Amino acid sequence: CFSAALALAACNVPTVPDFTYYRLPKPQSLEAARAPLRDAIVVDAFGADGLYADQALVYAVDADGQQLRQYHYQLWTDPPTRVLQRRLIVMLREAGLSREVTDELPASRAAIRIHGVLLRFDRVPKGDGSWSVSVSLKLRADAPDGTPLVDEFYRDDEMVAGTDIKTSVDAYGVVLDRLFARFYADLRKHGDAANAR
């Protein structure tokens, strides 16, 4: 009887949780460009160091975001460096900023080249049990001759509507759309001036 109880206890090993993969919601449309830029646009894969280069979602232990951890079973479908690159490409294409917006062109081809660095991409707890998401990016756009058109830091936060991961992922989409809209506006200022010449 004792050996049967031991065998039964061995069978009740806790199961490993399933991995859950998250996609960002569909991006909001940018204001349509007045006229496409003359040059093609290349958006490189974003750079990221440490935690942000992995697929795991990152969360802060404290409200100041000084201590960070990765979720073990809550992952992005792709590393955020690729997710952000693809989102920006889609948004710029749909806005008609250039006749060609892509992730790759030969170095010999004249193009505006956009480089991004992901500096912060955290789910942050608030003291009342709610959450916010915090995103910080460095975005640079270089003209075909290498002259910087835009070289700025963009940062924003968004309160999360619920406490589950899905509502946080939705909030990431809202923040990214706002940041990319600001970058787009900065890029258009230079593009409109160049097209006017």
For residue 107, name the pLDDT band (cuts at 50, 70, 90). confident
- In tens, the pLDDT along 13-45 reads 667 678 999 999 999 999 999 999 999 999 999
For residue 197, name the pLDDT band (cuts at 50, 70, 90). very low
The structure tokens listed for 38 are: 């003359």
The three-point CA angle 171-89-25 to 5° equals 25
For residue 193, name the pLDDT band (cuts at 50, 70, 90). low
The three-point CA angle 122-125-164 to 5° equals 80
Q: Contact, 125 vs 63, CB < 8 A? A: yes
Closest to 190 (Cα-Cα) out of 142, 137, 138, 139: 142
129 pLDDT above the threshold of 50: yes
E strands of the chain, at which residues?
20-22, 40-43, 47-48, 56-60, 68-76, 101-102, 111-125, 131-142, 148-159
Question: Mean pLDDT across the chain, nearest whole number?
Answer: 91
Instruction: Look at residue 10 in the predicted model and tell me its pLDDT.
Output: 52
pLDDT average, residue stretch 162-182: 97
The three-point CA angle 33-34-40 to 5° equals 55
pLDDT average, residue stretch 136-145: 97
At residue 87, what are phi and psi to the nearest 5 degrees? -65, -45
